[in-house]
Amino acid sequence: MNQEVLRIENLSFAYPHSKLLYDNFSLHVNIGEVVSILGESGSGKSTLFELIAGNLKAKSGTITTSKLSQIFQDPYTSFHPTYTIINQISDVAPLHDLHQLCHALDLDPDVLAQKPHQLSGGQLQRCSILRALLMKPSLILADEPTSALDNITGLHVMQLLMQFLDQVGILLITHDKNLAAWCSDRMIELKA
């Protein structure tokens, strides 16, 4: 049976003094699925994540979500520059599966003792995936997780993330239609 990790039903939302950005919008994600959200700048992709994360309140409709964690576009701004990666990860997540996950993410555990600027963008984005997975989510919100990386590194990072689809569903924001077509079960294109 499909295990649903996100259900959005009849969502409507507008920022104050603005037109409706979402009007009766519905979406669901199951464990094992990658669902991509595409759309031009200003179409409301980031706003959707803010609504799902509970940082914005819908005008009407319902959002039901299981435990989620987020991966952001720029790995350098996802970590504080002055603390080591391991300090920052241990602040938010238990470390039981650290070595096993490092292995799966092709990440040398020694790099975790470094500070963010000492790592490459690809290494650091794998650290943010590590942090997200250690939080044991059922839903991952990934906001342009590969767009700060070159194509080959980006594809590798996405492949590594997709290994965990037996445990999670992934909602992916991307501008990259080729990436979305390659990795998604469903694609939703928002209109500005």
Q: Which residues lie near ligand ATP (CB under 6 A)?
A: 15, 18, 21, 39, 41-47
Q: Would strands 139-143 and 169-173 be described as parallel, antiparallel, or unpaired?
A: parallel
Our CB check for ligand ATP shows the closer of 15 and 182 to be: 15
C-alpha to C-alpha distance for 62 and 124, rounded to whole angstroms: 34
Report the residue number, 21 or 157, with the smaller CB distance to ligand ATP: 21
- Are 133 and 161 in contact by the 8 Å Cβ rule? The answer is no
Shortest distance, CB of residue 189 to ligand ATP, whole angstroms?
A: 11
Q: How far is the CB of 118 from ligand ATP (least distance, A)?
A: 28
Select from 8, 51, 38, 13 the least CA-distant residue to 26: 8
Q: At what angle do helices 151-162 and 121-134 cross, to 10 degrees?
A: 20
Quote the Cα angle for 62-181-106, to 5°.
95
* Residue 188 tokens, joined: 């939703």
Residue with tokens 């706003």: 47
Q: 44 vs 169, which CB is nearer to ligand ATP?
A: 44
- CB-wise, 54 or 109, nearer to ligand ATP? 54
Taking the least distance from each CB to ligand ATP, the nearer of 46 and 84 is: 46
Write down the least CB distance from residue 56 to ligand ATP, Å: 8
Give the nearest distance from C-beta 59 to ligand ATP in angstroms. Answer: 14
Closest separation in Å from C-beta 21 to ligand ATP: 6
